[in-house]
């Protein structure tokens, strides 16, 4: 079992023009273990993507206080690729396009990066695994030969993030608004992929604005983020309550003035 722990995390970003630092995360606490499914919900602009980018090591986000640990060891000094090799994966809210690298090359490199240098995964085994995952996600193998995300539709990008996750098999996957812009069929396919990964060696953190995704991927824990903090944690019922009463209702209940 692995544990990813965020403790009193404060994160600031720099304004591109004024160069002034603005504090976005104001003391986030979160602990997740493999085998668990967590969801973070919250209004737009509250810091959800900031949290995921910071966990993954995006250098635009400056940790000013607190820590992020994997199995008790701080990862703050690790670069993005080191964090990936340590078992962290982020499906970005806006996946980037990379010209010149095919989707397949990208995944193969990522898979082999987690293995000893002299023991790459045999290509046969890799392709077999890829085929199985493509089938689960209802994707054509033509997708793997295209340049990464180039010309992919919004839905294809999201589906492809899940394909990468299934192929790379991280310990922890953060899915940042994987549901946004998906129709119900695509959403079900994405959920099928995530549910297929479920098991004792895999933990998910789903970031979403809406309860809808949680009808297909059942969370053990639901956290609500507002104004840079997790203000409430509960089970799946909390998401249903939010759907019914909105974030404003919760603000009133907690006496928050944000
Ligand atoms: P959410 O994902 O909850 O919608 P974000 O984490 O994307 O929220 O954004 C939280 C706040 O941080 C917003 O006010 C946003 O404008 C600001 N922010 C996020 N990333 C950056 C950045 N790279 N540079 C400047 N401001 C940013
Ligand atoms: Mg947003
Ligand atoms: Mg976001």
pLDDT of residue 99: 85
Question: Is residue 24 within 6 Å of ligand 1 at its C-beta?
Answer: yes
155-175: per-residue pLDDT in tens? 899 999 999 999 999 999 999
How far is the C-alpha of 175 from the C-alpha of 172, rounded, in Å?
10
8-30: per-residue pLDDT in tens? 999 999 988 998 999 999 999 99
DSSP secondary structure of 183-213: -HHHHHHHHHHHHHH-BTTBEEEEEESSSGG
Tokens, residue 252 = 């009133």
How far is the C-alpha of 91 from the C-alpha of 142, rounded, in Å?
21
The answer for 181, left when phi > 0, alpha when psi is -120 to 50, beta otherwise, is left
pLDDT of residue 95: 87
pTM: 0.94
pLDDT of residue 252: 86
**pLDDT at position 257 over 80:** no
**pLDDT at position 213 over 90:** yes
**CATH-assigned architecture of domain 3-97+171-254:** 3-Layer(aba) Sandwich (3.40)
Closest by Cα among 134, 160, 162 to 149: 160
- The answer to whether the CB of 27 falls within 8 A of the CB of 229 is yes
Q: Please list the residues that pair with 41 across neighbouring strands.
A: 208, 224
Mean pLDDT, residues 81-101? 91
For ligand 1, atom 14, which residue shows the shortest CA distance? 45
Question: Is residue 54 within 6 Å of ligand 1 at its C-beta?
Answer: no
Higher per-residue confidence, 249 vs 219: 219
- The answer to whether the CB of 191 falls within 8 A of the CB of 217 is yes
Place of tokens 């054509």: 140
3-state SS class at 237? helix
Tokens, residue 34 = 């493999």
Tokens, residue 110 = 């990522």
What ipTM was estimated for this complex?
A: 0.94
Q: Could you tell me what percent of the chain has a pLDDT over 90?
A: 78
Computed over every residue of the chain, the mean pLDDT equals 94
pLDDT of residue 1: 94
Which residue ranges make up each domain of the chain?
A: 3-97+171-254
| 258 pLDDT tier (thresholds 50, 70, 90) | low
Question: Is residue 229 within 6 Å of ligand 1 at its C-beta?
Answer: no
Question: Is residue 224 within 6 Å of ligand 1 at its C-beta?
Answer: no
For ligand 1, atom 21, which residue shows the shortest CA distance? 13
């Amino acid at each position: 079992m692995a544990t990813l722990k965020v403790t009193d995390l404060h994160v600031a970003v720099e304004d591109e023009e004024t160069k002034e630092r603005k504090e976005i995360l104001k003391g986030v606490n979160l602990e997740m273990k493999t085998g668990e499914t967590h969801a973070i919900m919250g209004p737009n602009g509250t810091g959800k993507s900031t949290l995921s980018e910071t966990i993954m090591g995006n250098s635009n986000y400056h940790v000013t206080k607190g820590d992020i640990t994997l199995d008790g060891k701080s990862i703050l000094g690790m670069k993005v690729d080191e964090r990936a090799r340590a078992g962290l994966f982020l499906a970005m809210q806006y996946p980037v396009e990379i010209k010149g690298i095919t989707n397949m090359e990208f995944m193969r490199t990522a898979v082999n990066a987690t293995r000893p240098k002299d023991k790459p995964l045999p290509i046969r085994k890799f392709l077999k695994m890829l085929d199985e995952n493509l089938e689960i996600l209802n994707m054509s193998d033509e997708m793997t030969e295209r340049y990464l995300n180039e010309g992919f539709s919004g839905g294809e990008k999201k589906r492809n993030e899940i394909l990468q996750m299934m192929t790379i098999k991280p310990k922890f996957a953060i899915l940042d608004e994987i549901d946004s812009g998906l129709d119900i069929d695509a959403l079900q396919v994405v959920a099928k992929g995530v549910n297929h990964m479920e098991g004792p060696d895999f933990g998910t953190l789903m970031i979403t604005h809406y309860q809808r995704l949680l009808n297909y991927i059942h969370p053990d824990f639901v956290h609500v983020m507002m104004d840079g903090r997790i203000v409430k944690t509960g089970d799946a019922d909390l998401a249903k309550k939010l759907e019914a009463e909105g974030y404003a209702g919760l603000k009133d209940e907690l006496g928050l003035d944000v």
